[in-house]
């Protein structure tokens, strides 16, 4: 009986990690999970086609409900940097962060909702991508809300507010 316990202990201990192996060679499943291994050609990650379809132009129809939802999402995700009126005067600017451009600058006024969705998705300049934080439907709602802000003329390039409804 004692001999069987000794043999079992030896076999058990022989399977233990010595700690001298290369960590990446041992943790190959972690390597795949972290995305270090290239995706084989011709494969499509799960959910990609649905997300591509949700981001395809022209997007949802612009309705009062969509604009209200976009305003809510804008206040949550965009106003900390861009400010409530889109002038680039959000709270983070008062704490030393460089101000983003005003949505009322002419170069941003000419952007289409599709282009705004693309910037939200991929980021631009100092703005990092929001693809992992903002679902595609919300990106469209935010883009239409930004266009609404621009059309109403809330805020101007010089920083003075316009009262145009």
- For the stretch 22-35, pLDDT in tens is 555 545 454 445 54
Q: Residue 133, SS3?
A: coil
Q: Average the pLDDT over 152-159 and give the result.
A: 57
Q: Which two tokens stand for residue 46?
A: 């799960």
| Average pLDDT over the chain, rounded to an integer | 80
Q: Which two tokens stand for residue 106?
A: 């002419």
Q: Range with the lowest mean pLDDT among 11-15, 81-85, 109-113? A: 11-15
CA 133 to CA 80: how far, in whole Å? Answer: 15
Contacts of 106 by beta carbon, 8 Å cutoff, 6+ apart:
157
Q: What is the pLDDT of residue 160?
A: 44
pTM tops 0.75, yes or no: no
Checking if the pLDDT of 58 tops 90, the result is: no
> How many Cα atoms are found within 13 Å in the side-chain-facing hemisphere of 102?
17
> What domains does the chain contain, in order, with CATH numbers?
2-33 (no CATH), 50-152 (1.10.760.10)
Checking if the pLDDT of 161 tops 50, the result is: no
- For the stretch 68-103, pLDDT in tens is 999 999 999 999 999 999 999 999 999 999 999 999
């Amino acid at each position: 009986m004692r001999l069987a316990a000794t043999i079992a202990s030896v076999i058990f201990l022989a399977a233990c990690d010595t700690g001298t192996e290369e960590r990446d060679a041992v943790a190959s499943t972690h390597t795949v999970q972290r995305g270090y291994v290239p995706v084989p050609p011709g494969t499509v990650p799960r959910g990609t086609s649905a997300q591509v379809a949700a981001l395809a132009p022209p997007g949802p129809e612009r309705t009062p409900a969509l604009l209200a939802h976009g305003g809510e999402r804008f206040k949550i995700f965009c106003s900390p940097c861009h400010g409530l009126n889109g002038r680039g005067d959000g709270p983070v600017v008062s704490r030393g962060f460089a101000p983003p451009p005003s949505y009322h600058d002419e170069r941003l006024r000419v952007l289409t909702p599709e282009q705004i969705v693309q910037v939200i998705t991929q980021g631009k300049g100092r703005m990092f991508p929001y693809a992992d934080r903002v679902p595609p439907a919300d990106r469209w709602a935010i883009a239409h809300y930004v266009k609404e802000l621009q059309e109403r003329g809330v805020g101007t390039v010089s920083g003075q507010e316009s009262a145009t409804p």
